[in-house]
Chains A and B, each alone.
Chain A
């Protein structure tokens, strides 16, 4: 199964011009707890995918909304010459199809 099948929303977005944040909001408690407890979303995976060191990846479990939030330093400052995505809204693609055993 792919991660998106358990969720109602996977999105990326600026958290200000210098940070990029990802929200994985699950359909229900069961899917959320399964992914949360198996630590399928890890600092190591983000570090590899977004070419960072794991230490700068913040992962927060948000029980109130059955959601996992990941925040990383923005690869480039929003709107800078080499930025590709001013709002940061289309950086979540690789997360969508993460395998959930």
Chain B
């Protein structure tokens, strides 16, 4: 029977897995090891700045174990969405880490690096040709948005992975790619039914996330055949059941029934989930409908300003009894002081906000419950055109806030507890996601450049 065995190292490279689990999984003779390395979940900072969610040490620890195991078994390693956002600089970082590991461990392999960062002129041309269209809740897109983006990446489908593997790559490191493409490329090359492949990929891409209770990040394993796949976690402390596997389709998706990929849509409406032991689940019955038009999703981030913040708390019951009026008086006094210090026009160069922990910091204006307890936390936030201005504004706000009076107390009061000196904390550049669109490329490969190199040996 035609089958492929897939080892998913972890849900996101850098979050870890147990070395012992990988050893057990390697004994099951996987055909490749895959891992996703990215997400938009932690916000726009990573795409905007090029910074990474985990440290180089964390990426290196995970990738080292994967490369050693894979080279020893002579199977490919496939990693997508390098170092959080899969921009070119983040991909270069992961490639560098792979080279360092190869040198230290005396490994050699043919490496393919798939570039997902997009050329702005190409995108503007596509926009003018009407080949870019918005997805749900998308912000406005025009040439200016493209021009002011710090980075724009396209989410690769399986095709660049297939290209790299067909060209003999033993280690494929990719920029931004769909989480599932990482796990679908090799099974598709083997000619396995795409419906089974994409469904298995969706279950595997989060590592051990589909187990009944995931206590820590770890590996997962599936055997994928034409008409079904079997998922069984290699960690003996973990188990899957039909509910846990079916429930995983809900995770961070707008619908559990459809998974939209560049080349088509996986539909799980008629999927069946059967327990074949107390730890393993057999999944079958999904369908895959090829897309009429091949599309690549775009992600972009632009600079939104520079921030400084102040963290503090209030415990005085007299202040808390009139908290709302005290705070609005304070904010108004702060605005007056900012205008006095920085002059006319400063209001166009900054935005001052306050978040009230213990009242509505989590849900903001949507919070239905606004009573407060015996203390509240305050987070003042200035967003300005420059870091210098944001920090300077907060130096004035800090002093206004710490002595802002209430009528009941006479004399000078100190109304906020600051845990830090200085109270103001520069937060650096802050970014904004500015695209939720898809583009129709001429071919599935034209947006993704594949580079090859011999590493080691």
Contacts and interface: CB of A to CB of B under 8 A. Distances in A.
Interface of A: 13-19, 21, 23, 25, 49-51, 58, 60, 62, 64-67, 69, 71, 73-75, 77-87, 90-91, 93-94
B368 A13 contact: no
B44 A18 contact: no
A14 B253 CA distance: 8
Contact of A94 (B254, B368, B432): B368
Closest 8 CB pairs of A and B: A79-B43, A64-B246, A65-B246, A18-B137, A73-B137, A65-B247, A86-B43, A71-B254
B136 interface: yes
B41 interface: yes
B362 A90 contact: yes
Contacts of B410: none
20 contacts: A14-B252, A15-B253, A17-B44, A17-B433, A17-B436, A19-B137, A19-B254, A21-B253, A23-B251, A60-B255, A67-B256, A79-B43, A79-B45, A79-B430, A79-B433, A80-B304, A83-B43, A86-B41, A93-B362, A93-B363
Contacts of B305: 81
B319 to A, nearest CB: 23
B105 interface: no
A17 B432 CA distance: 10
Contact of A16 (B351, B353, B436): B436
A27 to B, nearest CB: 10
B383 interface: yes
Interface string B233-276: 00000000001001101111111110000000000100101000
Nearest to A23: B250
A80 B40 CA distance: 13
B366 A87 contact: no
Contact of B366 (A14, A51, A86): A51
A79 B432 contact: yes
A14 B436 CA distance: 14
Given A69-B256, A74-B137, A87-B42, A82 B353 contact: yes
A49 B369 CA distance: 11
